[in-house]
Amino acid sequence: MRVRSLLSRCTVVVLAATAALWPATPAAAANLPLDRCYDLAPPQNIDDQPWSAPGNRQTVWPTPVGIRDRDVLRVSAQGKIRIDHWGTQKSIAGEWPPGGSGWPAPDALRYALIAKVSDGSVLVFKTGLFYGPGQWFPVGTDSGCILYYSAGPNPRVTFSFNDPNLGDNGGGASVRMSQWWDEG
């Protein structure tokens, strides 16, 4: 009798958890910001024009709407950076091997476009990793979907390049940010 009672309780718990986590309809799932990002649905906010992230300095994203908890971001970019005074150019997608010790984002490809948040953290689905405030994460030419978790007011997203010496760089990236948020 005890086994049957325990089994019944477990069944109720599993069914309740499934009902809470499983979307009620396909339309409900399509309303989640992350799903809309993966489906490439029109974002609530997209930069009107691509903006420049120069290769020799850090650049803050000029968002007109700010970022809130659980917003989903996706960065698309193109360009090349000059990495020295002799004119050597690299794609902002980066190149192997990853930077390693002494590079701004040790696990990201060398010379890739990278970003960081000033507050909160992000989950970068391309890498499957969380990055906290001030930690550089890979962006390249397409960041994939990035989920933001808030930890304070007025967070900023700053862009740069995975190069330990920005001072001799030139060129840069043309960047466009898309943003989805909860409509509920």
Q: Mean pLDDT of residues grouped by 10 in the chain (184 residues)? A: 45 37 46 91 94 96 90 97 92 94 96 96 94 96 95 87 94 96 79
Tell me whether residue 23 is in a domain. Answer: no
pLDDT of residue 184: 62
Asked if residue 25 is part of any domain, the answer here is no
In a domain, 4, yes or no: no
Q: Which domain holds residue 115?
A: 33-180
CA 105 to chain CA mean position, Å: 14
What is residue 13's predicted lDDT score, i.e. its pLDDT? 36
Total domains in the chain come to: 1
State whether residue 5 is helix, strand or coil. Answer: helix
Q: Are 29 and 23 in contact (CB under 8 A)?
A: yes
pTM, whole model, 2 decimals?
0.81
Taking the C-alpha atoms of residue 148 and residue 94, their distance in angstroms, rounded to an integer, is 23
Q: Report if residue 105 sits inside a domain.
A: yes
CATH number at residue 38: 2.60.120.430
Q: If you search the block for the tokens 């990002």, which residue do you land on?
A: 37
Residue 30: the pLDDT is 53
Has residue 26 been placed in a domain?
Answer: no
- Tell me, yes or no, whether 24 lies in a domain: no
Residue type present at position 79: G
